Amino acid sequence: GIDFSKITYLASKKDEINILEHLPNIDYQDTFGISALIWACGNGYVDIVKKLIDANANLNLQNDSIKFV
């Protein structure tokens, strides 16, 4: 699966990577229902949240237990 913690951490460091290039699709959810947007919101990555919203990430996605967005 995708390691959102690693991707968002690296993407937050001076744009070292483009998070969108590492996702199968913008709204990809892992086995727990976590998407990049949910992860970024829940962990305070404001710049990444903005990038995902600008790329038309679904604002209505929910995971299986915690609803961040």
The C-alpha atoms of residue 28 and residue 36 are separated, in whole angstroms, by 7
Residue 35's Cβ-count burial label (10 Å; 0-12, 13-18, 19+) is buried
Q: Which long-range contacts (CB under 8 A, 24 or more apart) does 21-24 make?
A: none
**Percent with pLDDT over 90 in the chain:** 9
Quick check: 15 pLDDT over 70?
no
Statement: the pTM of the whole predicted model exceeds 0.85: no
pLDDT in tens, 31-42: 888 888 888 888
45 vs 4, more confident: 45
